[in-house]
Structure 1
Amino acid sequence: MQLLLRKATKNLPVLGQFDAVQHMHSEWRLMLPVVGFGIGCALYVATDLPFPSLWIHTGILFSCLFAGVVLRIQKYPAVVFLAAVSAGTLCAGLRIAFIDSPIVKYEHFREIEGKALEIEGSAGNSTRLSLELTRIDGAPEGLPAKVRLIARGDVPENLKVGALVRLPVILRPPQGPIVPGGFDFSRRSYFSGIGAEGFVAGPIDILEDDGNEFEAWAAIQNVRIQVADRLLNSMNGDVGGIAAALAVGRRDEVSNATKDDFRDAGLAHLMAISGLHMGLVTAAAFFTLELVIAFVPIWALRLQPKKAAAFGAWIVALGYLLLSGAGTSTIRAFIMVSVGLLAVVLDRRVLSLRSVALAAIFILTIWPESVVSVGFQMSFAATSALVAFFEKYGSSALFRIHIGGPVVRAVKFLLVTLATTLVAELAISPFALYHFQATSMVGLAANLLAVPLTSLVIMPLLLLYTLLLPVGLESLVVPVLEPALQVLLWTAHFFGGENYAVFHVPQTTPIFLVVSAFGLISVLLTRGRMQVGIMALALLVAPLSFRPVHFGVLIDNGGRVVAQSGDETFAISGGRRGTFRDLAWARFWGNDLANEPEKLQKLCTMEACVVQLTSGETVAIVKMLDALRQHCATSNIVVLPRRWKGYCKGSALQISEEDIEYKGPAAIDLATGSLSWSRPQGNRPWNSLP
């Protein structure tokens, strides 16, 4: 690659004196195979492209590695990159192959037995339950590994994590995407071992209080519940809910209005335990322990304060990981801080792209599917951008906050916070636009207030609160913690409550995400004039690659729910309002989530229901065969049973109820008459339903 870069620029009149290799980052040889590994993982997980067998990939991988060794691997990075892509594909394929969890194919009623893994409240007096199955209808064979259920109404008060329960349920396949190109919930469920979801259809019978194999995990989960309850009892309303969310990841006690304001203010990352929270807790523990060890003479003489503090901070981070529920994003954050603390122990630089690359390759090796998750993408985008920023400007006088008087240091702190917030916001904006179809317009100002408050006050106080719980002195922290949380809550309401707080865009194609990610990676791999040029090119090309979808109609639930896009909001007929489907469809069309959808006109008879679209077209949901000929001739879109398709004559677009059930919702472009399905169909286990 070095030779190719030099030859490519040698004979150019402007670039004749320009050595491209010298403008690469010093760690580019390490970062490039990590990028290749991630590309291999993404190709296998996110697409439905046919790939050779795992044995062929293994042969390609070892062939590339052998060639790299023989040809001196450092001189041929292209060989390493190809091997990394093959290794990523192989790793993702093995991960999928080793998950042996049957998936429920149809909706049906069953009686199940299983161990309670998670118990969490949700909106509308409902409880979310996750069970590890032991029996279905008395049979222990052919079971999905886990099921996720919604229990309406009250659940037994003595139901705890680890309990063995028996209950009647209605099971169905895990839900797929709600819009074309949307988030694939069935893929996430598959990698989580969840083979079915549904509703509790009767009383829950507790057969045992706990099980030996779940004893440790159940104890940790019950401690989480107790900590959350103590916080909620100490501080009322959303203040207590926010404290529980930051401390143990329990967000069910935060009102929907407050969640919306946090999201619109660009502060949603504070509500989900991730790298920021793990980093803050670990940093607070590290600096506190280092200070304590340095001030105790006998410890300072026998120990190296920095390395001892790193080990102690790692123990605290591990405890926070368990207390927060050990979710995937939290485990990812724990791995990242572990790599940083290891760098401290080994006397390496903590803030380096080498550490970020090592953390990424470690995470992708264990969870290759993480590469397509929004948490992984935004977390590593922000972290990589901040590390690169500090590598370049961290030694400047502005970042030496400890130098100067109180006023100078305060000004420097605010400027550094502003700069880092701006860099992080710019890095994650393309990913937010693609995944959420929105980005906060006030996020910079809101984070400028909220992040220092959370970093310097709230998280250290929550850590102290948790440490004082066993001795019953946590109430000493509440008089300081509660006002700080109230300020954070006020910040979210102040910035997120404005109409101009969020910029909405419609759903775009994956090309925008690929171009944005490629631009960011290219900027990280380069330096100097090449970096500036690539950055300018990325800022130009990325907006040009943004192509909104043109599907104006969405049909779901066997045709009983029909919606059409509009300027400010969409119009819909059928279904309940305020559901997650409504929110997802509003995002799909780039509508403000606060706007209530309008109502489409619908006329139903015994033979059919006809929905009148705002643009004049009609959608007919045919119930009786006698009315099929009339509606096939007069309607623009006809929803009918698959077995009736041979009787429908005319130019109407025909959509079967069965296809909507297993592939839907259906998306229609009225201008071209094209039809697209939300759920991908292919040879991956999570999208191979009938």
Structure 2
Amino acid sequence: MATMGTSAAISEIMRPGGLEAAALQHGPWTAKGLLSRVLAVVERFLSGAGFERGPWLAVAFATGIIAWFWLPSWPFWASFSGLFVAVSAIGHASFPLLRSSPHVGRALTFVPLLIAAGCLVVWTRSEVVGQPGIDRPLAGTFHGRVLGIEPQPALMRDRLLIAMRNPLDGKAIKIRLNVPGKGAALHVSIGDLVSFRARLMPPAPPMLPGAYNFARTSWFTGIAASGAALGKIEVVNKAPARGNHLAQIRQALTDHIRASVGEERAGLAAAFVTGDRGGILEEDDQAMRDSGLAHLLSISGLHVSAIVAAVYLLVVRILALVPWIALRVRLPVVGSAAGALIGIAYTLLSGAEVPTVRSCIGALLVLAAVALGREPLSLRMLAVAAFCVLLVWPEAVMGPSFQMSFGAVLALIAVSTSESVRHFLGPRDEGLPLKWLRHLALLLMTGAVIDLVLMPIGLLHFHRAGVYGALANVVAIPLSTFLIMPLLAAALLLDLVGAGGGVWWLAGKAIDLLMALAHWFAARPGAVNLLPGNDAGAFLLFIVGGLWLGLWAGRIRWVGLPVALLGGVLLASAPPADVLVSGDGHHVGLVGARGEQLFMLRNSVKGYARDNLMEFAGIELQPLPLERSPNAQCNRDLCVVEVVKSKRNWRILIFRGHDIIAERSLAAACERSDIVISERWLPRSCRPRWYKADRKSLERTGGLAINLDKERIETVAKAQGMHGWWSPRSTAKPSNKPTS
């Protein structure tokens, strides 16, 4: 019977069309079998990986937020969210069919849903809190109510946050106003109605592609304009005495610290206690950045953790001395409650900035874990903290503060929870000196790992890479945590009875030691290297590899190491653009043939534009005027530069004067040039061979970064899309393509 059945099957296949019919019949079986095998492999991997689900869900949520920033307009945001909601619905509907693969079923259901949720959350926040900038610059006399005051004596000015009416449409707006002069706003209080003369500007977009986006920051913080006062601030109506008590206490505390430790040390001391960085001298601020110690200047994880841990240990140890309490009360719960109260109070007193609030949330989660007897430092805790922050401030994911703080904590958890580190710190029959040496070695290694994690983030945002940060932090962090902060706290407490003088002297000497350390490390050769670091694709590669390395457990995690290293190397070795043009066309920078010198159209000793051009060129040498370039010929009206790139001789014509040029001569000059750059409008008759960047086109595109080797032009507009903070002044349709 079997033989007859086989013969019949063969006959069926051999008849005309039989082979095709058999293939079609068994095709779905083959596809289904292949799918089952793939699902089985993925399920076995997920089942044996021993990973935490929470961190990956937080990553999915952050991915949706990042996608919203990168997608150009609302049809894309809606399509993106709808697509992932549909994928989640399909995954949920297929869950009964995936009983043998429960990990895969959950991933298909929840990961797409959280990606869509991230996109929708940041979209909603943008619509709710987004504040458009004023339409055009304004100058005149204005009236408004003071919402905040930030003294900045080191910069010889005060900064005010003022609520006023927009003179153009009468709507209520907030502005940020700089008042020149040290203590120029001492007579002003929060809540005062003031009158002032000023020139107000819309929040500035990035000067160059990838530069700091003040317009985006202002959109989410509700600032519609910024500017400088042109005279004295007049108080029209004094606010009642009640005012903002927290702000008043903070300012009084800052003034008391300044009077106690002296003007030179007051900036750093106030930064530790109240978070007020306005008194830090510019050279000290630069030294802290160059030495890798700038994180000590902003109240964040280190400061909040030190305060909370000190209060927790103090409360637990004191209560443990009372047997009646120790036998009847769970001391970790009481200590955690006390630490939480002090942590919240410290956060509010320091101004409740986003990094401080984020650190406070993390500290509260650690205290909750301690009170419940759970592991205090874990990936689950980090995931919960990330969710809390991103739900309230989803835009924070794009900033260096969020990336650096969570990146550092993730590196710390990954190192401290690894089997090799636990074995290294395991109990041994050895003396105390060897034990402390092992802890010191681990501290140095952890600092080096955290520095390696933070270096690409610093490259992308600040275009700076430090070398000695890990070593400097090994000394500076214990000095700050165990000496400076306790001395400042003790001095403030002793001042209640008028006995803090000697402790203030000691605190001042400790601050001097910290600043000497920062200046010494900053002065070492190679302490800071400027690198372009503009490759977003390389940074994404580093992030993917770093997350894989930090969030998986076991040997599979090491797959992410080469990926992260490759991303970091590509980011550090990214070549600079050959030509950099600011959004108004006023500033132009050309990188020399060897990439070692920057030539500027309008050179200056110092300034925001000069610093930006140097950072994006990755050049530390002082820039030179464009006419000193060996391939440039300049007169009072324009410069012509010859550049050889990709086996092509590029001719660049740059206008720098404002005199009238005959149109026929201008058109002839443009025709002989490959690229024309001008801060003023150029007629249509000016038609260069490749690209024209004049006032009209720059209003659409914003700043430019031109790579001649790859014949590629990056624009500010390309990364902004149709988000609310980007509003090109030209209504013409943007075009980033070079002219033919």
What TM-score do you get using the length of structure 1 for normalisation? 0.88
- The Cα of 1:87 is off from its aligned counterpart by 0.6
Q: Which amino acid aligns with 2:135?
A: K
**In structure 2, how many angstroms separate the alpha carbons of the residues matched to 1:402 and 1:529?**
26
- The Cα of 1:364 is off from its aligned counterpart by 0.5
2:531 and 2:572 in contact (8 A); partners too: no
Q: Which amino acid aligns with 1:619?
A: I
1:20 and 1:530 in contact (8 A); partners too: no
- The Cα of 1:378 is off from its aligned counterpart by 0.9
Q: Residues 161 and 297 from structure 1, CA distance in 2 versus in 1: closer, same or farther, beyond 3 angstroms?
A: farther
Q: Which amino acid aligns with 1:610?
A: L
- The Cα of 1:489 is off from its aligned counterpart by 1.1
SS of the residue corresponding to residue 687 of structure 1 reads coil
SS of the residue corresponding to residue 58 of structure 2 reads helix
More moved, 582-591 vs 641-650? 641-650
1:374-453 alignment, distance < 5 Å: 374-393=400-419, 396=422, 398-399=424-425, 405-453=431-479
SS of the residue corresponding to residue 685 of structure 1 reads coil
**In structure 2, how many angstroms separate the alpha carbons of the residues matched to 1:558 and 1:608?**
20
1:23 and 1:530 in contact (8 A); partners too: no
**In structure 2, how many angstroms separate the alpha carbons of the residues matched to 1:4 and 1:171?**
65
- The Cα of 1:181 is off from its aligned counterpart by 1.6
Question: Quick one: which of 345, 363, 371 aligns to 2:389?
Answer: 363
- The Cα of 1:609 is off from its aligned counterpart by 2.2
- The Cα of 1:19 is off from its aligned counterpart by 5.0
2:19 alignment partner in structure 1:
none
Q: Which amino acid aligns with 2:134?
A: V
- The Cα of 1:292 is off from its aligned counterpart by 1.5
2:225 alignment partner in structure 1:
196
Q: Residues 52 and 479 from structure 1, CA distance in 2 versus in 1: closer, same or farther, beyond 3 angstroms?
A: same
1:581 alignment partner in structure 2:
609
1:625-640 alignment, distance < 5 Å: 626-634=661-669, 636=673, 637-639=675-677
- The Cα of 1:185 is off from its aligned counterpart by 1.5
2:8 alignment partner in structure 1:
none
SS of the residue corresponding to residue 118 of structure 1 reads strand
2:737 alignment partner in structure 1:
none
1:296 alignment partner in structure 2:
322
Q: Which amino acid aligns with 2:658?
A: K
Q: Deviations over 1:556-601 (max 9, x none)?
A: 3744332222444422232643112222221111122xx4322222
SS of the residue corresponding to residue 683 of structure 2 reads helix
**In structure 2, how many angstroms separate the alpha carbons of the residues matched to 1:66 and 1:470?**
65
2:68 and 2:123 in contact (8 A); partners too: yes
Q: Which amino acid aligns with 2:251?
A: I
1:159-178 alignment, distance < 5 Å: 159-178=188-207
Q: Residues 142 and 675 from structure 1, CA distance in 2 versus in 1: closer, same or farther, beyond 3 angstroms?
A: same
**In structure 1, how many angstroms separate the alpha carbons of the residues matched to 2:559 and 2:466?**
27
SS of the residue corresponding to residue 203 of structure 2 reads coil
1:6 and 1:19 in contact (8 A); partners too: no
- The Cα of 1:170 is off from its aligned counterpart by 1.4
Q: Which amino acid aligns with 1:190?
A: W
Q: Is residue 205 from structure 1 mapped to residue 239 from structure 2 by the alignment?
A: no
Question: Quick one: which of 677, 684, 694 aligns to 1:656?
Answer: 694
Q: Residues 25 and 640 from structure 1, CA distance in 2 versus in 1: closer, same or farther, beyond 3 angstroms?
A: same
Q: Which amino acid aligns with 2:157?
A: S
1:490 alignment partner in structure 2:
516
- The Cα of 1:676 is off from its aligned counterpart by 3.5
- The Cα of 1:611 is off from its aligned counterpart by 3.3
2:268 alignment partner in structure 1:
242
Q: Residues 413 and 69 from structure 1, CA distance in 2 versus in 1: closer, same or farther, beyond 3 angstroms?
A: farther
Question: Quick one: which of 47, 51, 65 aligns to 1:26?
Answer: 51
1:262-301 alignment, distance < 5 Å: 262-301=288-327
**In structure 1, how many angstroms separate the alpha carbons of the residues matched to 2:639 and 2:612?**
21
SS of the residue corresponding to residue 181 of structure 1 reads coil
**In structure 2, how many angstroms separate the alpha carbons of the residues matched to 1:246 and 1:402?**
38
Q: Residues 689 and 56 from structure 1, CA distance in 2 versus in 1: closer, same or farther, beyond 3 angstroms?
A: same
2:546 and 2:560 in contact (8 A); partners too: no
Question: Quick one: which of 123, 147, 153 aligns to 1:116?
Answer: 147
1:94 alignment partner in structure 2:
124
**In structure 2, how many angstroms separate the alpha carbons of the residues matched to 1:431 and 1:457?**
30
**In structure 2, how many angstroms separate the alpha carbons of the residues matched to 1:622 and 1:632?**
16
**In structure 2, how many angstroms separate the alpha carbons of the residues matched to 1:233 and 1:402?**
50
Q: Which runs of 5+ in 2 are unaligned?
A: 1-32, 97-101, 630-634, 644-650, 730-740
More moved, 463-472 vs 511-520? 463-472
SS of the residue corresponding to residue 114 of structure 1 reads strand
**In structure 1, how many angstroms separate the alpha carbons of the residues matched to 2:161 and 2:562?**
48
1:81 alignment partner in structure 2:
111
Q: Residues 409 and 579 from structure 1, CA distance in 2 versus in 1: closer, same or farther, beyond 3 angstroms?
A: same
2:654 alignment partner in structure 1:
619
More moved, 382-391 vs 417-426? 417-426
**In structure 2, how many angstroms separate the alpha carbons of the residues matched to 1:58 and 1:676?**
30
2:161 alignment partner in structure 1:
130
Percent of aligned positions that are identical = 25
Q: Residues 469 and 614 from structure 1, CA distance in 2 versus in 1: closer, same or farther, beyond 3 angstroms?
A: farther
2:723 alignment partner in structure 1:
684
- The Cα of 1:617 is off from its aligned counterpart by 4.2
Give the number of equivalent residue pairs.
671
**In structure 1, how many angstroms separate the alpha carbons of the residues matched to 2:77 and 2:473?**
48
Q: Residues 58 and 365 from structure 1, CA distance in 2 versus in 1: closer, same or farther, beyond 3 angstroms?
A: farther
- The Cα of 1:496 is off from its aligned counterpart by 0.7
Q: Which amino acid aligns with 2:664?
A: R
More moved, 166-175 vs 533-542? 533-542
- The Cα of 1:103 is off from its aligned counterpart by 1.8
1:308 alignment partner in structure 2:
334
Q: Residues 621 and 312 from structure 1, CA distance in 2 versus in 1: closer, same or farther, beyond 3 angstroms?
A: same
1:507 and 1:587 in contact (8 A); partners too: no
Question: Quick one: which of 199, 202, 216 aligns to 1:187?
Answer: 216
1:665 alignment partner in structure 2:
703
1:27-46 alignment, distance < 5 Å: 27=52, 29-46=53-70
SS of the residue corresponding to residue 179 of structure 2 reads strand
More moved, 639-648 vs 438-447? 639-648
**In structure 2, how many angstroms separate the alpha carbons of the residues matched to 1:277 and 1:4?**
54
Q: Residues 453 and 545 from structure 1, CA distance in 2 versus in 1: closer, same or farther, beyond 3 angstroms?
A: closer
- The Cα of 1:92 is off from its aligned counterpart by 0.8
Question: Quick one: which of 176, 180, 183 aligns to 1:148?
Answer: 176
1:601 and 1:612 in contact (8 A); partners too: no
More moved, 480-489 vs 612-621? 612-621
SS of the residue corresponding to residue 647 of structure 1 reads coil
- The Cα of 1:446 is off from its aligned counterpart by 0.8
1:434 and 1:508 in contact (8 A); partners too: yes
More moved, 536-545 vs 100-109? 536-545
2:488 alignment partner in structure 1:
462
Q: CA RMSD in A?
A: 3.3
Q: Which amino acid aligns with 1:209?
A: K
Q: Residues 527 and 234 from structure 1, CA distance in 2 versus in 1: closer, same or farther, beyond 3 angstroms?
A: same
Q: Deviations over 1:178-197 (max 9, x none)?
A: 22122211111111111111
- The Cα of 1:453 is off from its aligned counterpart by 1.3
SS of the residue corresponding to residue 131 of structure 2 reads coil
- The Cα of 1:337 is off from its aligned counterpart by 1.0
Q: Residues 402 and 686 from structure 1, CA distance in 2 versus in 1: closer, same or farther, beyond 3 angstroms?
A: farther
SS of the residue corresponding to residue 477 of structure 1 reads helix
- The Cα of 1:310 is off from its aligned counterpart by 0.8
Q: Residues 94 and 560 from structure 1, CA distance in 2 versus in 1: closer, same or farther, beyond 3 angstroms?
A: closer
Q: Residues 69 and 297 from structure 1, CA distance in 2 versus in 1: closer, same or farther, beyond 3 angstroms?
A: farther
Larger of the two Rg values belongs to structure: 2
Q: Deviations over 1:9-49 (max 9, x none)?
A: 989xxx9xx9523552431x222221110000111124425
